[in-house]
């Protein structure tokens, strides 16, 4: 039975090792968000969004600043959502498409932008867009083939960013249930 | 390693009871996470060690309506898990077990490649055996012979894995779900040689927790709770005995995993919740003294609409060996 005890000890040791440095065992509710200076360039809330240009799934260029006040296609708000076409992503996107978009359809002009950072090409992005049933939807789907915007925003799967017409970032967090997105749009749309 | 080359796939829950019970593989992915097997020690066994290896291949997913959708063209998503576990008898009808997986994620998309590894979520289980003698029979001579072996169990899933709320660079790092969960299980097992039949049901509650970080980025703290989870399993098996009384058991099993919608700050998260149905086939060899068991399980989830919801579709190949100490 000594070998059994050794195995039990080894398993317990592995458990402890697995726990080392793991914040999930004792999760914190302390607000540790870094302080940022409002108006500086970046993608944290209160910062000014750094401009970018990417191709949409049809090959057309999309430039963020075109949608700022005074731009070619001004919007009251720009919503960026980062997808890798996984079940959580499509769950979020469906919620946005069928709940959030209709809720604000009569309030100003919002650009709903889906950022595909895994398909690797415009053609791949278009194929994923169609395969997942978003062809012709209210979404503009961008191909972030080299993860340029993904890295700029410090994004992950499900990251949702809201930018107002002045270019100020209002929100940058996981989609969660969409409640904060709705609240943010409520605050910025006329 | 560039940040983008981290991993996203979570881990899986292998709810396979070894020996005369079904081997089931139910999984979670980016939405879900790391857990491990629960082991059942045979009656009169003092202890058991178990080592198993899973290969899980991802092939599309079911969306929120249950429609099956393929992964992006050119993608190849796999997860490999090495599970080490042990069970120990603490009293005549009580046993305790623990298992810890080590996870390796391999994901290839047309636009990026990612390989990461780490410990998954651990599971600690206590089982009570509601019977005093071996319930397997060769002949049914009375109603007593039809009584099944009944196991009542409770499993605590411990978030030892790497979750979205941990110190990670992004979602590609994940090997666990980040939540404690307490499961209550009942398993009915009846063997009338050479046939075996099992029914199992597990209900689990995730504990609410604060979150102040998402994929490495600190956020305004909030409370999150995953939905309650239930799993129904059933299996049917046939055992063939060799002349040396070694046994080969063939088992087919069905599993139905459901998870209710979770909550964010007390409000229902309408984008959460999941379901997965799967079938599994197992071949297990046991030595004549039943102290050694070598098993292989293949779990298959139909790539068809209606067999799941809001969850990846995966096939899982499991190979394992266990040894019982008398």
The residue of B52, B161, B217 whose CB has the most chain A CBs within 10 angstroms, and thus the best one to mutate to test that interface, is B217
Burial environment of residue B143 by CB neighbours within 10 A (0 to 12, 13 to 18, 19 or more): exposed
CB-CB neighbors (< 8 A) of A146 in chain B: 111
* Residue A3 placed within a domain: no
Over residues A128-140, mean pLDDT: 95
pLDDT tens sequence across B21-31? 333 322 222 32
Domain that holds residue B166: 3-325
| pLDDT value of residue B44 | 84
CB-CB under 8 Å, A31 with B64: no
* Residue A6 placed within a domain: no
pLDDT tens sequence across B125-170? 999 999 988 888 999 999 999 999 999 999 999 999 999 998 887 6
CB-CB neighbors (< 8 A) of B29 in chain A: 86-87
Number of domains in chain A: 1
* Residue A183 placed within a domain: yes
CB-CB neighbors (< 8 A) of A156 in chain B: 164, 170-172, 214-217
DSSP letter string, A99-166: IIHHHTTTSS-EEEEEEE-SS-SHHHHHHHHHHTT-TTSS-EEEE-TT-HHHHHHT--TTEEEEEETT
Q: Which tokens is B158 given?
A: 């411990």
| pLDDT value of residue B1 | 34
Distance CA A54, CA A108 (A): 24
CB-CB neighbors (< 8 A) of B8 in chain A: 84, 86, 157
Domain that holds residue A115: 38-188
Q: What length does chain A have?
A: 190
CB-CB under 8 Å, B75 with A24: no
Q: Does B32 touch chain A (CB under 8 A)?
A: no
Distance CA B209, CA B267 (A): 14
* Residue A30 placed within a domain: no
pLDDT band at B3 (very low <50, low <70, confident <90, very high): very low
Residue of B nearest to A144 (CA): B111
| pLDDT value of residue A82 | 97
| pLDDT value of residue A10 | 62
Chain B: closest CA distance from residue A127 (Å): 8
Whether the per-residue pLDDT at B6 is higher than 70: the answer is: no
- Which CATH number do you get for residue A86? 3.40.30.10
* Residue A15 placed within a domain: no
Distance CA A96, CA B137 (A): 57
pLDDT band at B292 (very low <50, low <70, confident <90, very high): very high
Question: Which helix (H) or strand (E) element contains residue B314?
Answer: strand B311-325
Q: Which of B86, B179, B217 is opposite residue A154, by nearest beta carbon?
A: B217
Report the complex ipTM: 0.87
pLDDT tens sequence across A48-99? 999 999 999 999 999 999 999 999 999 999 999 999 999 999 999 999 999 9
Interface contacts (A, B; CB < 8 Å): 225
| pLDDT value of residue B167 | 83
CB-CB under 8 Å, B270 with A178: yes
CB-CB neighbors (< 8 A) of B66 in chain A: none
Sign of the Cα torsion B41, B42, B45, B51 reads negative
Q: Which of A4, A33, A159 is opposite residue B218, by nearest beta carbon?
A: A33
More confident residue, A9 or B225: B225
Phi then psi for B83, rounded to 5 degrees? -110, 125
* Residue A28 placed within a domain: no
* Residue A23 placed within a domain: no
Whether the per-residue pLDDT at B224 is higher than 60: the answer is: yes
Mean pLDDT of chain B: 86
- Which CATH number do you get for residue B292? 2.40.128.130
């Amino acid at each position: 039975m000594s070998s059994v005890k050794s195995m039990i000890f080894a398993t317990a040791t592995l458990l402890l090792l697995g726990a080392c440095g793991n914040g999930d065992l004792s999760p914190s509710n302390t607000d540790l968000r870094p302080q940022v200076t409002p108006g500086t360039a970046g993608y944290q809330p209160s910062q000014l969004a750094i401009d970018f240009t990417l191709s949409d799934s049809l090959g057309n260029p999309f430039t963020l600043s075109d949608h700022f006040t005074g731009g070619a296609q001004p919007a009251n708000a720009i919503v960026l959502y980062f997808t890798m076409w996984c079940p959580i992503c499509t769950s979020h996107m469906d919620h946005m498409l069928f709940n959030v978009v209709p809720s604000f359809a009569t309030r100003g002009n919002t650009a709903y932008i889906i950022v595909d950072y895994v398909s690797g090409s415009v053609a791949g992005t278009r194929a994923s867009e169609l395969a997942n049933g978003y062809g012709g939807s209210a979404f503009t789907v961008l191909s972030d083939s080299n993860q340029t915007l993904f890295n700029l925003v410090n994004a992950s799967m499900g990251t949702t960013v809201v930018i107002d017409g002045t270019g100020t970032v209002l929100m940058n967090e996981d989609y969660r249930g969409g409640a904060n997105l709705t609240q943010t749009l409520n605050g910025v749309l006329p | 390693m560039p940040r983008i080359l981290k991993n996203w796939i979570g881990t899986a829950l292998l709810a396979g009871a070894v020996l005369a019970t079904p081997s089931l593989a139910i999984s979670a992915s980016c939405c879900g996470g790391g857990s491990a097997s629960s082991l059942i020690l045979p009656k009169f066994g003092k202890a058991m060690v178990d080592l198993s290896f899973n290969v899980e291949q991802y092939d599309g997913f079911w969306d929120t309506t249950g429609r099956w959708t393929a992964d992006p063209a050119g993608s190849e998503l796999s997860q490999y898990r090495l599970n080490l576990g042990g069970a120990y008898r603490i009293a005549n009808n009580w046993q305790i077990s623990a298992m810890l997986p080590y996870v390796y994620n391999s994901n290839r998309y047309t636009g990026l490649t990612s390989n990461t590894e780490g410990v998954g979520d651990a599971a600690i289980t206590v089982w009570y055996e509601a019977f005093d003698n071996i319930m397997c029979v060769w002949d049914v001579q009375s109603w007593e012979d039809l009584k099944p072996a009944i196991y009542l169990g409770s499993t605590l899933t411990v978030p030892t894995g790497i979750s979205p709320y941990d110190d990670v660079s992004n979602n590609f790092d994940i090997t666990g779900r980040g939540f404690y969960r307490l499961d209550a299980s009942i398993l009915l097992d009846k063997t009338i040689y050479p046939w075996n039949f099992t029914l199992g049901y597990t209900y689990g509650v995730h504990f609410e927790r604060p979150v102040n970080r998402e994929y490495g980025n600190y956020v305004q703290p909030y409370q999150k709770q995953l939905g309650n989870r239930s799993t129904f399993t059933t299996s049917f098996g046939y055992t063939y005995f060799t002349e040396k009384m070694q046994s080969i058991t063939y088992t087919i099993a069905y599993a139905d995993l459901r998870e209710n919608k979770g909550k964010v700050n007390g409000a229902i998260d309408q984008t959460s919740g999941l379901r997965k149905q799967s079938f599994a086939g197992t071949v297990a060899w046991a030595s004549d003294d039943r102290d050694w068991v070598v098993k292989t399980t293949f779990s298959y989830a139909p790539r068809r609409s209606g067999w799941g919801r809001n969850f990846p579709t995966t096939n899982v190949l499991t190979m394992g060996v266990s040894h019982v100490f008398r």
